[in-house]
């Protein structure tokens, strides 16, 4: 059973470009969470999605950031018009729809904006 | 909103010795979960140990154990017989009860970098 897969592992974008980060949850997991880790900091929650629904986006910046988790395919975190401050590691975690299991993390995508 | 505080940015331990990492949290909830995650240089987040707030017994996983003090809102991690492979960043994390509808949304502390010396 493959773990949570994130790609790419490393992404370099110039200022003003778009970044698309992908997350394929573990098999049977229908809940996805995105976190951002700035250098020398802990992970900060961004958004919680279930298939085709955004459940909690309280940690998402109001502009330029969006996330989706379609019925088919991976979850996508999209950052438009990237700025240097977006440089960070972005982690995805997934969990099944049961009460007492924990979330499993992918290895993250390191985004560098130049 | 819940907060998690790790006041030790760095800790060092000699191989085979014991080290304790501190974590405090703030919440008005009575039912919640606490976690310790390990992040080695590979960046992979690895679950070390989990504690349910309704359980008075402290969780243990091999060389890892916690000291959970609910009234004091304290959740420290003890690593016994430290090994070189334990060197990593350790994060304390909080999760509300599933019943709040937040799923597995986690609130993390800022981390403690653990160095293991020969």
A90 in B contact zone (CB under 8 Å) = no
pLDDT above 80 (res A2): no
Nearest-CB residue to B105 (from A45, A101, A108): A45
Please tell me whether residue B84 adopts helix, strand or coil conformation.
Answer: helix
A46: chain B residues, CB-CB within 8 Å: none
- CA dihedral in degrees (B118, B46, A65, B104; nearest 10)? -140
Could you tell me how many residues make up chain B? 118
The model's pLDDT over A49-103, given as tens digits with 9 standing for 90+, comes to: 998 899 999 999 999 999 999 999 999 999 999 999 999 999 999 988 766 578 8
Cβ atoms of A109 and A8 closer than 8 Å: yes
Q: For residues B79 and B35, give the distance between their C-alpha atoms in angstroms, rounded to a whole number.
A: 14
**With contacts defined as CB-CB under 8 Å, which chain B residues touch A56?**
102-103, 105
Yes or no: say if A34 and A46 are a contact pair by the CB < 8 Å rule.
yes
Taking only the tens place, the pLDDT of each residue in B59-90 is 999 999 999 999 999 999 999 999 999 999 99
């Amino acid at each position: 059973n493959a773990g949570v897969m994130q790609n790419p592992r490393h992404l370099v974008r110039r200022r003003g470009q778009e970044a698309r980060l992908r997350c394929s949850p573990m098999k049977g997991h229908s809940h996805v969470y995105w976190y951002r880790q700035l250098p020398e900091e802990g992970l900060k929650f961004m958004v919680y999605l279930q298939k085709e629904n955004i459940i909690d986006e309280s940690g998402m910046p109001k502009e330029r950031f969006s996330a989706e988790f379609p019925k088919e395919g991976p979850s996508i975190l999209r950052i438009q018009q990237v700025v240097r401050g977006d440089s960070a590691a972005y982690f995805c975690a997934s969990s099944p729809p049961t009460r007492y299991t924990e979330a499993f993390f992918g290895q993250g995508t390191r985004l560098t904006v130049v | 909103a819940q907060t998690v505080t790790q006041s030790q940015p760095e800790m060092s331990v000699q191989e085979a010795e014991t080290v304790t990492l501190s974590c405090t949290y703030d919440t008005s909830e009575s039912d919640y979960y606490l976690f310790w995650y390990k992040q080695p240089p590979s960046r992979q987040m690895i679950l070390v140990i989990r504690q349910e707030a309704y359980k008075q017994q402290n969780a243990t996983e091999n060389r890892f154990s916690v000291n959970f003090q609910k009234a004091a809102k304290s959740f420290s991690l003890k690593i016994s017989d430290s090994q070189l492979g334990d060197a990593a960043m350790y994060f304390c994390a909080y999760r509300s009860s599933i019943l709040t509808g937040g799923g597995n949304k986690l609130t993390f502390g800022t981390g403690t970098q653990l160095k293991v010396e020969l």
